[in-house]
C-alpha cells in the first residue's frame, strides 16, 4: 500500500513523531497559520506538508495584487451577500495586508503603493459605480478607517482604447509574489517549522487525541491539523460551499518605455493586469467559461487566452509592439460568498479555505485566525 516503506530509524524519529500541529498546504494561508501558531507556542513541533515542489494552487501563480475590493465588485457582492458579510470580508482583507506587511516588511514583499484602477467600457455601469462612490467611501471609512478611498480619475500617460471611465482605489498596491513566498519560507524555517514537499495526503482520520494523515510516504500524526489547500479542499474534506476556480495568466516579454503603473481591474475584477519588470502581466477571463474553469486541472484554456490576447492588443497596448513570453494557470477557491471558511470540520481538523480570489490580501489573517482557533 505504501510506495516508500524503507524509513530509517532517524527518519522515523524526525518525521513520524507526533506533532503538535500539521498544516496541509504551504501557500500563504498554510505558512501564515504555521508561523502564527509557532509564534504563540514557541516549543510546539510544527510540520507543513505540501504536495508540490512549490504551492500547487495560487500562492506562487497569482498576479501579486495587494487589493481589497473595486467599486463594481463590491456593488456586485452587496447584491448577492449580506452587507455585514461583505464588510467583514473587506475588513479581513485589509487586516491581512497589514499583517503581511508588518510580518515581513514592505521591502521583503516588494510592496508598491501605486493604487488600484478600475477600468470601464460601459457608460451605464460606470455611471452606477460613480453614483455609489460617496456611499462606499463612507462604509470603507467606518469599516477599516480609510478616508476617501475611491475617486474618479483621468488616465495619465495611458493609451487605453475603448475605456469610458476610471475609478481609483488609492490604498491598493502590488507585491512581488516570489519575494513574498521566499521570505515567508525563510521565516518559517527560522522558527524551526519543518516543511516537506512532494507529500500527497490521501486521507485524514480524526482520533480522540489528535489525527492521522495517510500519504504515499507514510502516516503522519498530530494533535491538531489545519487544511489550507483552498480550491483543492474537497479532495480531503467534506465541504459544501467551496469550489476550485482556475485562473488563466500570461506575461509579455519586456517592453521599452512601458508607462503603465499600478494594478488594473476590468469587468468586475474578472480581468486584471499590471506592470512587472517592464512587462505586462495579464490574467482573468474566467467568466467566459465558468464551467470549464471549475476544475483542479492546471491547464491552459485556449478560448480564454485568445480573449486575453485580443484585449491586450486592442485595449491595453493598442499602439505597442509586444510578444507573449509565458502563459500559466492557477487554482483559486470560491463559493456562494467570499468570506473565508475557518472552522473545525471534524474533531481536531480545521479548514482554512475559500479565499475568493483575494489570497494575497486575506491569506495572512486567515492563517492567523486559524492558528488562534486551534491554539
| 196-206: pLDDT as tens digits | 999 999 999 99
Q: Is pLDDT at 359 greater than 50 in this prediction?
A: yes
3-state per-residue secondary structure call for 43-60: CCCEEEECCCCCCCCCCC
Report domain 9-61+179-241+337-374's class: alpha beta
Look up residue 23 and give its three cell numbers: 498544516
Assess contact for 308 and 289: CB atoms under 8 A: no
Determine the Cα–Cα distance for residues 213 and 205; give it in Å rounded to an integer.
6
Q: Side-chain half-sphere of 360: how many Cα atoms within 13 Å?
A: 23
Other C-beta atoms within 10 Å of 147: how many? 9
pLDDT bucket at 13, cuts 50 / 70 / 90? confident
Determine the Cα–Cα distance for residues 253 and 277; give it in Å rounded to an integer.
9
Backbone angles phi, psi at 321, to 5 degrees: -80, 130
The domain limits of the chain are 9-61+179-241+337-374, 70-173, 244-261+275-334
Closest CA to 363 of 20, 69, 85, 26: 26
Average pLDDT over residues 343-369: 97
Assess contact for 331 and 246: CB atoms under 8 A: yes
pLDDT of residue 57: 79
pLDDT of residue 300: 98
Average pLDDT over residues 338-366: 97
> pTM of the predicted model, to two decimals?
0.95
pLDDT bucket at 223, cuts 50 / 70 / 90? very high
Distances (CA, A) of 47 to 17, 43, 230, 264, 344: 11, 13, 18, 37, 19
pLDDT bucket at 16, cuts 50 / 70 / 90? confident
Determine the Cα–Cα distance for residues 198 and 271; give it in Å rounded to an integer.
32
Reported as a single tens digit per residue, the pLDDT across 237-296 is: 999 999 999 999 999 999 999 989 999 999 999 999 999 999 999 999 999 999 999 999
Under DSSP, is residue 227 helix (H, G, I), strand (E, B) or coil?
Answer: strand
Average pLDDT over residues 359-367: 97
Rg of the chain over all Cα atoms, to the nearest angstrom: 21
pLDDT of residue 341: 97
Average pLDDT over residues 216-231: 95
pLDDT of residue 35: 98
Q: What is the mean pLDDT of the chain?
A: 95
Average pLDDT over residues 7-14: 86
Determine the Cα–Cα distance for residues 357 and 340; give it in Å rounded to an integer.
10
| Pairing between β-strand 201-207 and β-strand 65-66 as defined by DSSP bridges | unpaired
Cα-Cα-Cα-Cα dihedral sign, residues 93, 267, 287, 272: negative
Determine the Cα–Cα distance for residues 134 and 148; give it in Å rounded to an integer.
8
Reported as a single tens digit per residue, the pLDDT across 147-179 is: 999 999 986 667 899 999 999 999 999 999 999
Determine the Cα–Cα distance for residues 193 and 32; give it in Å rounded to an integer.
11
pLDDT of residue 18: 94
pLDDT of residue 375: 84
Look up residue 52 and give its three cell numbers: 508540490
pLDDT bucket at 1, cuts 50 / 70 / 90? very low
Backbone angles phi, psi at 81, to 5 degrees: -125, 165
Average pLDDT over residues 309-322: 96
Other C-beta atoms within 10 Å of 319: how many? 6
% pLDDT > 90, the chain = 90
Determine the Cα–Cα distance for residues 271 and 265; give it in Å rounded to an integer.
6
Q: Is pLDDT at 141 greater than 70 in this prediction?
A: yes
- The answer for residues whose C-beta is within 8 angstroms of residue 304's C-beta and 6 or more apart is 248, 285, 286, 288, 289, 293
Amino acid at each position: 500500500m505504501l510506495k516508500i516503506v524503507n524509513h530509517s530509524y532517524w527518519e522515523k524519529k524526525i518525521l513520524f513523531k507526533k506533532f503538535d500541529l500539521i498544516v496541509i498546504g504551504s501557500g500563504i494561508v498554510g505558512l501564515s497559520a504555521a508561523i502564527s501558531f509557532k509564534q504563540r507556542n514557541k516549543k510546539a513541533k510544527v510540520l507543513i506538508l505540501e504536495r508540490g515542489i512549490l504551492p500547487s494552487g495560487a500562492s506562487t501563480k497569482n498576479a501579486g495584487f495587494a487589493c481589497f475590493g473595486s467599486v463594481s465588485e463590491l456593488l456586485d457582492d452587496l447584491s448577492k451577500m449580506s452587507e455585514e458579510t461583505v464588510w467583514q470580508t473587506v475588513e479581513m482583507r485589509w487586516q491581512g495586508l497589514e499583517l503581511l506587511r508588518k510580518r515581513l516588511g514592505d521591502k521583503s514583499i516588494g510592496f508598491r503603493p501605486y493604487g488600484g484602477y478600475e477600468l470601464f467600457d460601459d457608460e451605464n455601469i460606470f455611471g452606477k459605480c460613480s453614483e455609489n462612490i460617496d456611499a462606499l467611501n463612507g462604509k470603507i471609512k467606518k469599516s477599516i478607517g480609510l478616508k476617501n478611498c475611491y475617486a474618479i480619475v483621468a488616465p495619465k500617460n495611458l493609451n487605453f482604447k475603448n475605456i469610458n471611465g476610471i475609478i481609483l482605489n488609492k490604498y491598493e498596491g502590488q507585491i512581488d509574489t516570489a519575494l513574498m513566498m521566499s521570505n515567508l519560507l525563510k521565516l518559517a524555517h527560522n522558527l524551526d517549522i519543518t516543511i516537506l514537499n512532494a507529500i500527497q495526503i490521501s486521507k485524514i482520520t480524526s482520533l480522540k487525541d489528535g489525527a492521522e494523515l495517510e500519504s504515499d510516504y507514510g502516516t503522519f500524526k498530530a494533535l491538531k491539523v489545519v487544511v489550507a489547500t483552498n480550491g483543492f479542499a474537497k479532495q480531503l474534506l467534506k465541504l459544501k460551499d467551496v469550489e476550485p476556480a482556475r485562473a488563466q495568466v500570461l506575461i509579455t516579454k519586456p517592453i521599452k518605455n512601458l508607462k503603465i503603473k499600478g494594478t488594473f481591474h476590468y469587468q468586475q475584477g474578472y480581468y486584471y493586469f499590471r506592470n512587472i519588470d517592464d512587462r505586462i502581466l495579464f490574467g482573468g477571463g474566467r467568466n467566459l467559461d465558468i464551467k470549464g474553469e471549475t476544475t483542479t486541472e492546471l491547464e491552459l484554456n485556449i478560448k480564454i487566452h485568445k480573449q486575453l490576447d485580443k484585449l491586450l492588443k486592442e485595449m491595453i497596448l493598442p499602439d505597442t509592439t509586444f510578444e507573449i513570453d509565458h502563459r500559466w494557470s492557477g487554482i483559486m477557491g470560491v463559493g456562494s460568498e467570499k468570506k473565508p471558511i475557518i472552522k473545525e470540520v471534524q474533531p481536531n481538523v480545521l479548514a482554512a479555505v475559500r479565499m475568493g480570489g483575494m489570497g494575497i490580501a486575506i491569506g495572512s489573517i486567515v492563517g492567523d485566525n486559524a492558528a488562534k482557533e486551534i491554539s
